[in-house]
Amino acid sequence: MRRRPRPLVAANWKMNGLRRDGVERARDLAARVRRRTPKCEVVVCPPATLVHVVGEVLSGSLVALGAQDCHAADNGAHTGDVSASMLADAGCRFVIVGHSERRYGHGEGDTTVRGKAEAAHRAGLIPIVCVGESEAEREAGRTLEVVASQLQGSLPQGTGPANVVIAYEPVWAIGSGRTPSVDEVADVHRHLRRLLVDQRGEEGRGVRLLYGGSVTPRNAPDLLGAEEVDGALVGGASLKADDFWAICESCP
């Protein structure tokens, strides 16, 4: 039996919140982790405009700072983009790459996602690499094939538990209130684990595999208890302090 790594629960605030909301939510979370050590590693990924100010609130706390995306280049003429080294400079330790809202909303394929993950590594950040099938792919019975090919195409060389986190997020489950069953989640996670172990041997065993897509305080205990699930990537529910904390506390 694999020794479970320490779970990780990440808040993806997406494009939500002005300074006051973000600071309030971050203060609330920092106070909670001061009162009670969480059962998991906790990461908050605010929108780019709030990275700095939220980072200041979280500094010295047990909550780590992350970002929601980065460019694959270290600097240059990329209007509107942010580089991984800028995020590291602003205090980030993590960055989400390959979220389906980037893959589908911005046409980012595996090669782009891998480039971003490599940029994250160069900057000393831990990329949270997202994979997940669309509803049509699931209905066509292609879930395992799709996530395998995304994993294969998106992961940089030489990844291990210390420098990468993977998030399985079925596209149809994101923000929809629908989730796969616990058995379906466990099937996909077992598959991803097998691929990681085939590719990286022992290193692949310790890489954290998060589940994401409509995680709530109600379904978190089951989803987080599923085989090979090492935490969660939480969107909507991370905007409510009580809900997000309840999810963190649901970790086995």
> Catalytic amino acids?
99, 169
Residues in the chain: 252
Site for ligand PGA in 197-236 (CB under 6 A): 212-215, 233-236
Cβ neighbours, 10 Å, residue 76? 8
Site for ligand PGA in 61-90 (CB under 6 A): none
Q: Which is nearer to ligand PGA, 133 or 200 (CB)?
A: 133
Query: How many contiguous H segments (helices) and E segments (strands) does the chain have?
Result: 11, 8
Which of 39, 45, 37 has the alpha carbon at shortest distance from 230?
A: 39
CB of 236 to ligand PGA, least distance (A): 3
* Contact pick of 108, 169, 228, 243 for ligand PGA (by CB under 6 A): 169
Q: Is 46 in the site for ligand PGA (CB under 6 A)?
A: no
Q: Which residues of 134-163 are buried (b: 16+ CB within 10 A; e: fewer)?
A: beebbeeeebeebbbebbeebbbeebebeb
Q: Which is nearer to ligand PGA, 125 or 130 (CB)?
A: 130
232 touches 247 (CB < 8 A): yes
Site for ligand PGA in 103-142 (CB under 6 A): none
Write out the two tokens for 127. 């990329």
Q: Which is nearer to ligand PGA, 9 or 86 (CB)?
A: 9
Residue nearest to ligand PGA (CB): 235
List residues binding ligand PGA (CB under 6 A): 12, 169, 174-175, 212-215, 233-237
